[in-house]
Structure 1
Amino acid sequence: MKREMDWNNLRYFLAVARLGRLSPAARRLRVEHSTVARRIEGMERAMGTRLFDRHREGLMLTEAGQALLPMAEMVESTMAVVAEELSDRDTAVRGEVRLGTPEGLAVCFLTSRLKPLLDDCPGLTVELLALPRLANLASREADLAITLEPPRRGPYIVARWSDFTYFLYGARGYLAMHEPIVTRADLANHPFIAYIDDYLLIPELRFLEKLCDKPNLRFCSTSMLAHKEAVLAGIGLAVLAPYIGASDPRLVKVLPEEACFQYTFWLAAHADRLRLKRVRVVWDYLRALGGAHHRLFLHGED
């Protein structure tokens, strides 16, 4: 006989479905590993079917689990909106909003520009995920994301945030010690700093192959902030985002008319999350922020 289902178990089901393992789900829900396992087992007993197959790689949704997932997400979204409406009848913005962005953008641009938003919304908490990879909106790792690769399919809202120009930079002291770099051919005489190719998730960030046939790589890192520090240390030249290069007078653009790469950053959110007032407020603030700094992003001049 099927038992009546505890609807609170949907939170546990969604966390495991999105993260694929019990331990990460437990951390997100701030409960013990055993609690998550017990809740999932109870849910499967109540429904009379398995929701997950257990594999060495983790837990995979069964056919029944896949059928339940969109319905569970609909319940989650509706309950979040109801909770917000009931608690915020005074129109105040309250709660947490998690934003995923590239590490350099988070550290060198966004963090110092969030204070006006937080001053206007004393009940709002912004959680900034400074990641060396793309934030996963599907797993609800973040409510919003600023990304080079927006979701192509699914229930997402995507808006153009800003165009960016990445420039080649050298340290002022390093450049003073070498012959002037006048043409691309001169770059063959200099060492370079770049991403570790095996960990590069965005092919567009393979800058150097567009500059030199055989660049002399001397230092590689998954972090653009590490690239900046390596440039300042005099290790070599690196392509940096404009908000990183323009923020430090010790950095100088090299061949700015030729050694430059333009990309578009996108602001993305799951459609369900934008139903929440607190998420919409952050979304609107970020869109205005992107438009207000067009010159910095496109020309590397603050």
Structure 2
Amino acid sequence: MTPNWDDMRVFLAVAREESLSAAGRLLRIDPATVGRRVARLEASLDAPLFTKSQQGYVLTSAGERLMDHGLKAEEAMRAAAGAMAEPSERLSGQIRIGAPDGCANYLLPQVCGKICDANPNLDIQILALPRVINLSRREADMAVTVSAPTAGKLLVQKITDYKLHLVATQEYLADHPAVHSIRTLGGHRMIGYIPDMIFDRELDYLVDLGVDRVALASNSVSVQLRQVSQGSGICIAHDFTLPFHPKLKKILVDQVSLTRSFHLVRHQGDQRNERLNRFAQALSQGIRDEVERLEAEASP
């Protein structure tokens, strides 16, 4: 028996959320109904699609095979919906963006707010995760990344460069030995990412400075900046975050100045979706403008 699209939608939701209740919330149907639909699909295919574990619902080998076909079917349905949609000057519906913590906290709120102001019927969801967003499983419609992915059928475009510098509070600097050079950082408490949770080599800033110990660590940029703002140590900060933390002062600017880039990553199958193309254009321009504005405010 050929699976119908409604059952396939339920299957994909459970595969992504790994939970009947989470899939039910996503689809806005009762979890018991989700379970019955999955059972019906398994019966029609005469194959178990999930195993229940402590982590939730995990795909079996048969489920993994069906997932590949389900994603292709979903892509085709999305393309059809985009092709049939009536042209409109305004965007509508729901779009989910994945982004690293710094971008999600300090850039996307302003950028997405302006896009929503111009498109009142558009719902934007920001998925801030300390890891790479899995676009192949449709965790998001598009993602902002620091490194440009090289594998998978993806559309990748560079959005903009951004700057980073060492920062600390004036109070911390007054109460601790002077920071004259990179070599003197060893005598200070360094704040940064949890070393074994750095998901992108471009985020491993401190190792390039010869820092071998991170005394205060978090996988969240926001937590790191809160810690340094309280006078707890020194960290590397995005320049675009500094207007939100006026107590922070750049240090060793002539010796440490890092440049990284944001990229917008999308499903290759969405390249003919005019609605997502327009949103991607607005998002990219908004991020460029916001980085430029905030970095200008953060200049000495």
What TM-score does the superposition give when structure 1 sets the normalisation length?
Answer: 0.85
Is contact 1:242-1:296 (8 Å) kept?
no
Say if 2:84 is the partner of 1:59.
Answer: no
Change (3 A) 1:185 1:150: closer
Shift in CA distance, 300/150, structure 1 to aligned 2, threshold 3 Å? farther
Q: 1:254 and 2:246 equivalent?
A: no
Alignment match, 2:268: 271
Alpha-carbon distance in structure 2 between the residues aligned to 1:249 and 1:71:
51
Aligned length: 297
Give the counterpart letter for 1:134 in structure 2. Answer: V
Q: Among 109, 112, 137, which residue is 1:111 paired with?
A: 109
Deviation at 1:67, TM superposition (A): 4.5
Please give the per-residue CA displacement for 1:139-158, whole angstroms capped at 9, x wherever unaligned: 21111110123432222111
Please say if residues 246 and 300 of structure 1, whose CA atoms lie closer than 8 Å, have aligned partners that are also in contact.
yes
Of 172, 181, 185, the match for 2:183: 185
Q: What is the match of residue 278 of structure 2?
A: 281
* Superposition deviation, residue 169 in structure 1: 0.6
State the partner residue of 2:16. 18
- Say what the alpha-carbon RMSD is for the aligned residues: 2.8
Amino acid corresponding to residue 159 of structure 2 in structure 1 = W
Change (3 A) 1:55 1:90: closer
Comparing 70-79 with 100-109, greater Cα deviation is found at 70-79
* Alignment partner, residue 44 of structure 1: 42
What SS does structure 2 have at the residue aligned with 1:125?
strand
Query: Could you tell me how far apart the structure 2 residues matched to 1:93 and 1:45 are?
Result: 40
Within 2, Cα distance between the matches of 1:71 and 1:222? Answer: 35
SS in 2 for 1:210: helix
How has the CA–CA distance of structure 1 residues 91 and 211 changed in structure 2, closer, same or farther, with 3 Å as cutoff?
closer
- Note the C-alpha offset of 1:201: 2.0
Q: Where do 1:77-116 residues align within 5 Å?
A: 77-84=75-82, 86=84, 88-90=86-88, 92-116=90-114
Partner of 1:74, secondary structure, is helix
Structure 2 CA distance for aligned equivalents of residues 151 and 211 of structure 1:
25
- 1:121 counterpart residue number: 119
Q: Deviations over 1:68-107 (max 9, x none)?
A: 4344333323333444555535554210111111222122
Partner of residue 219, structure 2: 222
Distance 1:250 1:210, change over 3 A: same
| Amino-acid identity (%) | 27
- SS at 2:5 equivalent: coil
Q: Which amino acid aligns with 2:248?
A: L
Between 1:176-185 and 1:7-16, the stretch displaced more is 176-185
C-alpha change, 1:145 and 1:300, in structure 2 (3 Å) is farther
User: 184, 205, 208: which is aligned to 2:206?
Assistant: 208
Q: What per-residue deviation string (whole Å, max 9, x for no partner) do you get for residues 230-284 of structure 1?
A: 1111111011122113443321111123223322221101123444333222200
> Which residue does 2:27 correspond to in 1?
29
Which stretch of the first structure deviates more once superposed, 31-40 or 220-229? Answer: 31-40
Say if 2:197 is the partner of 1:199: yes
Equivalent residue for 2:166, pick from 151, 165, 168: 168
What is the CA-CA distance between 1:185 and the residue it aligns to?
Answer: 2.2
User: Aligned letter for 1:218?
Assistant: A
Task: Tell me the TM-score normalized by structure 2.
Answer: 0.85
Instruction: Give ranges in structure 2 of 5+ residues lacking alignment.
Output: none
Displacement, 1:118? 1.6
| Counterparts in 2 of 1:182 and 1:39: CA distance versus 1, 3 Å | same
Question: Per the alignment, do residues 253 and 99 of structure 1 end up closer, same or farther by CA in structure 2, a change over 3 Å counting?
Answer: same
Picking from 147, 150, 167, the partner of 1:149 is 147
Q: Do the aligned partners of 2:71 and 2:137 also contact (CA within 8 Å) in 1?
A: no
User: Which deviates further from its counterpart, 291-300 or 31-40?
Assistant: 291-300
Partner of 2:47, secondary structure, is coil
Could you tell me which amino acid in structure 1 is paired with residue 235 of structure 2? A
Cα 1:94–1:252 shift into 2, 3 Å: same
Measured in 2, the distance between the counterparts of 1:89 and 1:240 equals 42
Q: 1:168 to 1:8 in 2, by over 3 A?
A: same
Structure 2 distance, partners of 1:111, 1:126, is 10
Q: Distance in 2 between matches of 1:300 and 1:168?
A: 17
> Displacement, 1:179?
4.6
Task: Please state how far the C-alpha of 1:175 moved relative to its aligned partner.
Answer: 1.9
Residue in structure 2 matching 1:238, options 228, 235, 239: 235
Distance 1:67 1:169 in 2: 49
SS in 2 for 1:114: helix
Deviates more, 1:116-125 or 1:242-251: 242-251
Counterpart residue type for residue 233 of structure 1: Q
